[in-house]
Structure 1
Amino acid sequence: MKIEAPPWREIHLPGLGPLRIRDSGPPEGEPDAPTILLIHGWTVSADLNWCRTYEPIARRARVVAWDQRGHGAGGLRTSGRMRMEALADDAAAVVRALGVDRATAVGYSMGGAVAQAMWRRHPDLLDGLVLCATAMAFGLTTTERRDFAIMGASSLPARLAAALGREEPGWQAARRASERQAGTSMETGDADFDRWAWDETRAGSLHHVLRAAWNLGRFDSSDWIHEVDVPHAVVVCGDDDVVPTARQRQLAHALPDATILEIDADHAACVLRPDLFVPALDSALDAVHGPAPR
């Protein structure tokens, strides 16, 4: 399926190897436009998370995106850890490979945890932070901790299944679990798009994705998120059952001076409600960088 997206190019991350990234370059006539890192959420690819976002945001900024470790077809298949801090280090390595001084991290869901960890570990590389559909912590209830633990324990069987070419049943189970958590089908009603979206998801490594879930459940920024010292904004999904809306609001109010944009949409707003999500993200970037040239 064809989407409107920046071209691919390959960069080299020291100690990790080659990584394919989307890179729009600066908008025409705007060589000093900010660099925006679009950091996707759990299970999905960069293209699936940001397919509705690439083109409008590339009008105002240099847009860069990549598949995170183990995700999508292009994510690094490292044997290293899948902690949010490791994914944040990957993002920092991307910035250094681009040769830019600083970038703005825009993180969605799990990508929001990665963006928070990036500020914590590499504050010198960030000039702004936009956190979307995300939270300070994800494994707070007994049920959540149990579910994350089950996913972590399932990562080794998933690795063995992959070696035997039998990942598909595991992906189907993960899909059903995601839909139960969301309380709705993740399908759009567009058969071509839905097939493409499913292909993008299962192109990832289920072993890595499950390990990422275990580590997402252990992430907690509540002790330090109030220290964020770069311009920042939060996009809250007001009808979200995956990352509960209340937790998104708690994150927004824990930050020292966040611009808060709330939209009437569920967790899949970036794909299903771009009419709401993209203007909110655009306003969030206005808050961080000032209004874009029109």
Structure 2
Amino acid sequence: MSHTHVTAPTQYVEAGGVRHAYRRFGKPGGTPLVFLVHFRGGMDNWDPAVTDGLAANREVILFDYAGVAGSSGEVPNTFEAFGDDSAAVIRALGISQADVLGFSIGGYIAQTLTLRHPELVRRLVLAGTGPRAGEFGGQDPKIYEVAGHDPEITKDGYLFLFFEPSEASQQAGKDFWARRHQRTVDVDPPSSMQVAKAQAGAMGKWREQVGERWSELKTIQQPTLIVNGSHDVMVPTINSYILQQHIPGAQLIIYPDSGHGALFQYPELFVSHVSRFLDSERAFS
């Protein structure tokens, strides 16, 4: 049976002393694509239009970080530890090398994974994210209350955090919300408020400069695609430009009238761009 985002069974793997929940589906063979999710997110926070779209031509792997949703253990308190946790999962699944797609804090984790375990990463996709010690002057001050106040982020919260106020963007957000809830059996448990606090602590450390600002990005040798919306209120869009300027040979795509969740506002376009990037024989074609 060929599974999809909605039907793929939740499985478990022991990695680093943690029982990690994961789902694996799509076209087997070739390099699998590992998804690293956003703040407070689990496997059910991904958009089926994105995961299934990319799974049409490759195997995709979703998993819950340590201490998050269906996984056991303690929530890591730094993104370096999150990166090591992700590397342990990849190895435990018997994967010698993967493509990695990180969204929001998943993009922070994707960077630390790539820097600390470069042999595991073939190509890198960074969406709605930024570098260590990035620029946050354009961040909306209301995001912390909206993202971390309630036991679960509400529909209105997602529409504010991930989408622009325009009618078209808000409608795209409502469509995303409906797609996101298509899975009704074997769903992930919601993340606890403790997860929000621990991940917020890791975000605070990520803002601290270590050594020469952004110098570590120059050591990323993997082909990298960076994607964001034109007005990201969570990780200001300028950070995507900074990533592109400092990761050697990186490509940058900015989608119009969109914000942090641009990949969910334009899922077909995002899938097309990512697929072309991952499938191209030349890294930057």
TM-score (norm 1): 0.74
Q: Which amino acid aligns with 2:13?
A: I
Name the CA shift for 1:206/1:67 in 2 (closer, same or farther; >3 Å).
same
What's 1:171 paired with?
151
1:286 to 266, 279, 282: 279
What's 1:270 paired with?
263
Q: Which amino acid aligns with 2:20?
A: L
Equivalent residues of 2:50, 2:268 under 8 A apart: no
1:78 to 73, 79, 91: 73
**1:142 CA drift (Å):** 7.6
What's 2:174 paired with?
188
- Write out aligned runs for 1:57-206 (5 A): 57-71=54-68, 73-74=69-70, 76-79=71-74, 81-137=76-132, 140-141=135-136, 170-171=150-151, 184=165, 188=174, 203-206=190-193
**1:263 CA drift (Å):** 2.1
Equivalent residues of 1:241, 1:266 under 8 A apart: yes
Q: Deviation string for 1:93-120 (max 9, x for gaps)? A: 1111111211111111111100000011
Distance 2:133 2:158 in 1: 15
Bigger shift: residues 180-189 or 51-60: 180-189
Q: Which amino acid aligns with 1:89?
A: D
Instruction: Give percent identity, aligned residues only.
Output: 22
Structure 1: 5+ residue stretches without partners = 156-168
Pairs aligned (count): 266
Q: Deviation string for 1:256-291 (max 9, x for gaps)? A: 111223322321223332133222222332358779
SS in 2 for 1:52: helix
Distance 2:177 2:232 in 1: 24
SS in 1 for 2:275: helix
Q: Deviation string for 1:144-184 (max 9, x for gaps)? A: 7x999x88xxx9xxxxxxxxxxxxx7336898777666665
Distance 1:66 1:20 in 2: 6
Q: Which amino acid aligns with 1:222?
A: W
What's 2:242 paired with?
250
Q: Does 1:259 align with 2:260?
A: no
If each structure's helix is expressed as a fraction of its own residues, which one has the higher value?
1
SS in 1 for 2:23: strand
Q: Which amino acid aligns with 2:46?
A: N
Q: Does 1:36 align with 2:33?
A: yes
Distance 1:86 1:79 in 2: 11
TM-score (norm 2): 0.76
